[in-house]
Structure 1
Amino acid sequence: MSSADGPVQFDPADFGAIPSSRALRQWMRTTRRRHADRSFWQIFEDVYLVLFTLAMAGATGGNVVHHLNNNAASCTSWSCGELIQWMPWIIIPLLLATTLRMLLAVGPVSATRATGFWLLATPVSRSALLRPAYRLVIATVSVVGFVVAAVIWALLGAPLLEVFGAAVLISALLVCTAIVTVWAQQTPHRSRWTLRVADLLLIAAVIPAVVLALHKRPSTTGGAWFGAVPTYQTELVDAYGYGGTTLGLSAITDASNTGSGQPHLLLLGVAAVIVAVVLTFIAARSLANLSRTSVIAGGELLAGLAGAASSLDISMLGDVISGRHWRLKGRVRSRRGRGARGAAIVQREFLRILRWPRRLVIGAALLVVPYAVAGAGFHVLVPIAAGFAGFVAVRPLLDGLRTACRSMGLVRALGMDLRELRVVMAVVPGLIAIIWSVLAAPAIGDGAATFAVAAGIIAGSVRQASGRPPSYGGPLVTSPMGAIPPGLFSQPARGFDLLLLCLAPVLFNLSATWVLAIPAFVLTIMFAVRPKTD
């Protein structure tokens, strides 16, 4: 047997010494600069515009947050005290679960297909090649986590030093969470268990939100669950008789003024930062265990998300994530269908939703939104918060309808009119939307408003799922981002317009007749009109 029949052995004498990752990146950087067709000042103009825009947006947002922080700090009502007490137990699990799910959806360490084919398949150190992407993920998570935590704690009315300490602590926790996702990316078994932990965190965030919403408030009439909260002075004099501060809130106010809890926050933050730094270096040594399949899949997902974002098509973003999920899953157990025509399609849609049960868990966890808003005392905003949260929960369940509306060949193969097909495929998601709205009814507090929320969720999600692809026809419109086809401007608002139309009578405090009539009329027109396909 000749040597050519055996496995190929790498011999440095035949191919030369293996280059280091740093030398390889330096060579690639030099090659790119050699073929660059833009001068430094042209690049600087673009960077300057981006930095100037970020500075303006940061200054505007900072002023708004500062104003809201002053208003929240001056609030001394019973609702504000309860909000400060329970909100961290809602926000922290939500942030951790969101970080786990988003990073595991991407990778978190990712690379393009070209990098995976030309570089990761070579004998060059894989850890060194993936280390820049790993550092970018850690830096992004730390910065975004710090900003989000600082904004949330500032909105709660915390003093500056406490805001800084909470931001440092939560940022370090999120970095540790990102490191866990890097560890979980190395094997599919770890990824599955990490996603289950994320689901448990989402469920854990629901419990304090329900407690916050259903907690009985003190009032002059003996208390009400979802009634109007009395004014501060009346509440204090009639319910407690102290005239200055309530017993429960006085300790919070004193702690905020004296800053007694701030050193503990800072110490915990410093300890968490040390742990995060140590884990960052440990995880960097295990990057060689990442497979090319998982790394390239993340790069393809980012490329698809960038393409969907450039077309302003929100539904396409969900399609990209859904497509990656089913490609990684590979196959499912087939089941025999039942019924004929519409009944068969309803049964298949039900099975399709059950094959990805994690979306149902996320939808159940989104019940935290209306209950949290109700517990914070913002009863006017509960219907709109419930509407948007329910929209996010139900919209991913309509992938089958979106596929049918984007493929006329599939519609002809099913043998039904597109209008009838839209009604049939919306049956199961519509029932889930009704169940979700009923579960959120205690926070909404009114039967007519609950019907408006359910109708808005169904109408908005079905409209977005059955919408046409983006239109690139017509004259271009000049914008700061360049020339944009006018058909793209309607893409982000599709679906949300019907949701707001159904919620409008609730927000304007109209009578129950209008609250029931307008959403019912919108639903009737929605399912009576045939979707446009061109």
Structure 2
Amino acid sequence: MSSRNKRRNRSRKERAAQPAARPPQQRRPAPTDDPDFEGFDPDYPFVDVGFDAQGMVDERQLLLLVKDWRKGRATRRLRDVITDAYVAMFTVVVVAAMIISGLLSAQNQASTCTSDGCVTARKLLPWLVVAGLWVGALAISRIFGPIVASAAEGFWLLDAPLRRSSVLARRMWGMIFAAGGVAAVVAALVTVLVGLPLPTVGAWTAAAAFTTAAWMAFTAAEQGAERTIMVRVAQIVVGGVAVVVLVAVIASASGWLSVGLGGTGSFELAIVVAAAGLVLAILASLIARRRLDNVGRAKLITGGELVSGMQGAAFALDFALMRDILIERRNHLRGHVKPARGHWRGTRALVWRDLQRLVRSPGPLVGFLVSLIVPYALESLGVGSLTPILSALIMVAVMVPFMDSMRVLTRTKGLARLFPMTDSELRTATTIVPASLALIWAIVVTPAFLLNLNGQAASVSVSNTLWYGVITAAAGLLGAMRWVSAKSANYNMPMVATGAGAVPPGLMFNLIRGIDVAVLVTAPLVLNWPPIVSAIIAMIAFMVLRSGGINQQELMEKSEEQRKELAAQKEAARGGGGRTRPKQVISRSGTPARTRPPLRK
């Protein structure tokens, strides 16, 4: 008997040894068949339950539940992360010590300027700082909201039957206090830098914090009222005040304008401004809190999407991408424009497009005109040794909006390949308009480097000082070129081990790109070296930026082409003394050649 039959007989015996199947159970009677069963008879029909009869949601408990879902499952605490990142903490301490040392040295240098105009300019400078903070707060509020919400929150929370003000109140207070804190830090740094007494520094710090918080609360109240016109008007007025104060600082330092400020006038004015700002901040905050229920969901979600996009760019330290997101948002709100016909051919057509873009969007020219006053303001404050480097850093920010064409061509390689020109020619063409503006800037600000505003001769020779304006403008232009044309971090390359984890090599330099070139070009001027050193550095930097730097992929492609050409030459030399071998055409036997049918006439 085979093994298969044995297994079959064994299975039959096992089934026969099992007990007989149980008889099918009888169906239990339904509850309605039981005479002792009593069903549930509600006192009201379910379909007639009104909204008032439903339970009200406790917004505080709901927010705590959302917080638990977001942060309650974290495996590490912030304390553990800070403990592991000891290298970063040590770096922060060292950098802070360097900044404090630089502030103290700058304060000592500024205190040496004891003329009436210089003292008056230092007392007017806090007004300029406060006005600048106001403009920044209003601009940020116009862009983002200032109160925002994510798409998930807008879908799950803002459409639910709950008090919207209870959900958004914490965010509103957070934005107001954050604006005040940032303004306090900036005002304290600037007032310490110009050498003001500590009581005056504290008073202006409080004034900047309270007034900036008041403007943020004002924008939140306008958001609740679904209005934007008042915020725009306030931004224009405050920007005009900032420009007027800047001109007053320069005029008072040069002796053109006399501002009657006593010894304690700056401190007393700061106390008055701080008190008024505190009162206005409280009133505006209360009004904004009452209007939170009226904030539209679409406005909140739009600002939240913008914040999410910028957070992704911020994680990569790609500030140029953040600016691209803001420009896309602005153009989306603007809608469409009337197209304009181009002129000329070749690279001149790109130059003409830059001119058309400048005429269509003249907004960046406002910042360019304001930057013309910066060297004069720095000289009037007695920090002339830092004027080249500070002016160059401001020029980097001013020149970036004029290089949108270079930004598009460097980020979109497919578009750049469509032009019958090399990358160097494209970059040169897109630099002509910004370079012309930089040359105008250099001519206008050269008197600030030649003479002090008090009429005394500068500490360096006139022949060297003539180059200061040109080199500073070139440093700002090159820094802007570096900022818009720098490549993003490559995550396919080997990572660098740090205390905060693995980081791509290019990611660490994204934070200082543009700034590095400006500092490198103007550093010899700060060290009182000959201007020819800065000129040589600027020429080398321009050549590198014009060529696009070192592209490893292009180098590998060129190396592969050269290798193929060399192999072809060797094969030709081996085949017939330098003569090329005839091309052999091999076809299958018996296969008729395919011919194209004749075209019909």
Report the TM-score range of the alignment, normalised by the length of the smaller protein. 0.7 to 0.9
CA distance in 1 between counterparts of 2:109 and 2:384 reads 17
CA distance in 2 between counterparts of 1:354 and 1:476 reads 45
CA distance in 1 between counterparts of 2:417 and 2:424 reads 12
The secondary structure found in structure 1 opposite 2:502 is strand
Is 1:36 equivalent to 2:88 in the alignment? Answer: no
Is 1:490 equivalent to 2:521 in the alignment? Answer: no
CA distance in 2 between counterparts of 1:472 and 1:386 reads 35
Once the 2 structures are TM-superposed, how far is the Cα of residue 455 of structure 1 from its aligned partner? Answer: 1.9
Which residue does 2:9 correspond to in 1?
Answer: none
Is 1:430 equivalent to 2:435 in the alignment? Answer: yes
The secondary structure found in structure 2 opposite 1:478 is strand
Which residue does 1:453 correspond to in 2?
Answer: 472
The counterpart of 1:388, out of the listed 384, 389, 393, is 393
Is 1:118 equivalent to 2:120 in the alignment? Answer: no
**CA offset digits 1:128-181 (Å, max 9, x no partner):** 322221111001112222232233333344444333222222211111111232
Q: Is the 8 A contact 1:451 1:516 kept in 2?
A: no
Which residue does 1:270 correspond to in 2?
Answer: 275
The secondary structure found in structure 1 opposite 2:416 is helix
From the superposition, tell whether residues 287 and 448 of structure 1 become closer, same or farther in structure 2 (CA, over 3 Å). same
From the superposition, tell whether residues 441 and 29 of structure 1 become closer, same or farther in structure 2 (CA, over 3 Å). same
**Which structure 2 residues correspond to residues 217-228 of structure 1 after superposition, within 5 A?**
none
From the superposition, tell whether residues 305 and 477 of structure 1 become closer, same or farther in structure 2 (CA, over 3 Å). same
From the superposition, tell whether residues 47 and 485 of structure 1 become closer, same or farther in structure 2 (CA, over 3 Å). closer
CA distance in 2 between counterparts of 1:198 and 1:425 reads 34
CA distance in 1 between counterparts of 2:163 and 2:433 reads 50
Among the aligned pairs, what percent are the same residue?
26
Which residue does 1:196 correspond to in 2?
Answer: 236
Which residue does 2:213 correspond to in 1?
Answer: 175
The counterpart of 1:145, out of the listed 183, 192, 196, is 183
Tell me how large the CA RMSD over aligned residues is: 3.7
Which residue does 2:114 correspond to in 1?
Answer: 77
The counterpart of 1:411, out of the listed 398, 411, 416, is 416
CA distance in 1 between counterparts of 2:94 and 2:217 reads 30
Which residue does 1:282 correspond to in 2?
Answer: 287
From the superposition, tell whether residues 313 and 332 of structure 1 become closer, same or farther in structure 2 (CA, over 3 Å). same
Q: Is the 8 A contact 1:448 1:515 kept in 2?
A: no
Is 1:207 equivalent to 2:247 in the alignment? Answer: yes
Q: Is the 8 A contact 1:312 1:492 kept in 2?
A: yes
Q: Is the 8 A contact 1:69 1:154 kept in 2?
A: no
Q: Number of matched residues?
A: 486
Once the 2 structures are TM-superposed, how far is the Cα of residue 464 of structure 1 from its aligned partner? Answer: 2.4
**Which structure 2 residues correspond to residues 19-30 of structure 1 after superposition, within 5 A?**
19-30=57-68
CA distance in 2 between counterparts of 1:341 and 1:275 reads 58
Q: Is the 8 A contact 2:376 2:448 kept in 1?
A: yes
Is 1:291 equivalent to 2:310 in the alignment? Answer: no
Q: Is the 8 A contact 1:297 1:324 kept in 2?
A: no
From the superposition, tell whether residues 96 and 452 of structure 1 become closer, same or farther in structure 2 (CA, over 3 Å). same
The counterpart of 1:94, out of the listed 123, 128, 132, is 132
CA distance in 2 between counterparts of 1:520 and 1:65 reads 29
Q: Is the 8 A contact 1:199 1:361 kept in 2?
A: no
Which residue does 2:28 correspond to in 1?
Answer: none
CA distance in 2 between counterparts of 1:209 and 1:393 reads 21
CA distance in 2 between counterparts of 1:275 and 1:430 reads 45
From the superposition, tell whether residues 465 and 263 of structure 1 become closer, same or farther in structure 2 (CA, over 3 Å). closer
From the superposition, tell whether residues 205 and 48 of structure 1 become closer, same or farther in structure 2 (CA, over 3 Å). farther
Once the 2 structures are TM-superposed, how far is the Cα of residue 411 of structure 1 from its aligned partner? Answer: 1.4
The counterpart of 2:351, out of the listed 346, 352, 363, is 346
Which residue does 1:45 correspond to in 2?
Answer: 80
Once the 2 structures are TM-superposed, how far is the Cα of residue 211 of structure 1 from its aligned partner? Answer: 1.8
From the superposition, tell whether residues 330 and 71 of structure 1 become closer, same or farther in structure 2 (CA, over 3 Å). same
The secondary structure found in structure 2 opposite 1:462 is helix
From the superposition, tell whether residues 411 and 294 of structure 1 become closer, same or farther in structure 2 (CA, over 3 Å). same
Find the structure with the greater CA-based Rg: 2
CA distance in 2 between counterparts of 1:15 and 1:435 reads 73
Q: Is the 8 A contact 1:70 1:157 kept in 2?
A: yes
For residue 500 of structure 2, what is the amino acid of its counterpart?
A: M
- For structure 1, the residue ranges without an aligned partner over 5 or more in a row are 1-10, 218-246
Deviates more, 1:346-355 or 1:63-72: 63-72
For residue 147 of structure 1, what is the amino acid of its counterpart?
A: V
CA distance in 1 between counterparts of 2:83 and 2:283 reads 36
Q: Is the 8 A contact 1:112 1:296 kept in 2?
A: yes
Which residue does 2:34 correspond to in 1?
Answer: none
Once the 2 structures are TM-superposed, how far is the Cα of residue 282 of structure 1 from its aligned partner? Answer: 1.0
Q: Is the 8 A contact 2:472 2:522 kept in 1?
A: yes
Q: Is the 8 A contact 1:433 1:458 kept in 2?
A: yes
Once the 2 structures are TM-superposed, how far is the Cα of residue 394 of structure 1 from its aligned partner? Answer: 0.5
From the superposition, tell whether residues 158 and 202 of structure 1 become closer, same or farther in structure 2 (CA, over 3 Å). closer
TM-score (norm 2): 0.71
The secondary structure found in structure 2 opposite 1:489 is helix
- For structure 2, the residue ranges without an aligned partner over 5 or more in a row are 1-48, 451-464, 554-601
The counterpart of 1:131, out of the listed 155, 165, 169, is 169
Which residue does 2:227 correspond to in 1?
Answer: 187
From the superposition, tell whether residues 476 and 166 of structure 1 become closer, same or farther in structure 2 (CA, over 3 Å). same
Q: Is the 8 A contact 2:388 2:468 kept in 1?
A: yes
Once the 2 structures are TM-superposed, how far is the Cα of residue 335 of structure 1 from its aligned partner? Answer: 2.1
CA distance in 1 between counterparts of 2:360 and 2:245 reads 24
Once the 2 structures are TM-superposed, how far is the Cα of residue 59 of structure 1 from its aligned partner? Answer: 8.2
From the superposition, tell whether residues 207 and 46 of structure 1 become closer, same or farther in structure 2 (CA, over 3 Å). same
From the superposition, tell whether residues 407 and 462 of structure 1 become closer, same or farther in structure 2 (CA, over 3 Å). same
Once the 2 structures are TM-superposed, how far is the Cα of residue 388 of structure 1 from its aligned partner? Answer: 1.0
Is 1:357 equivalent to 2:362 in the alignment? Answer: yes
Q: Is the 8 A contact 1:363 1:392 kept in 2?
A: no
Runs (4 or more) in structure 1 with deviation over 6 Å come to: 47-52, 247-250
CA distance in 1 between counterparts of 2:252 and 2:228 reads 37
CA distance in 2 between counterparts of 1:465 and 1:533 reads 20
Q: Is the 8 A contact 1:387 1:499 kept in 2?
A: yes
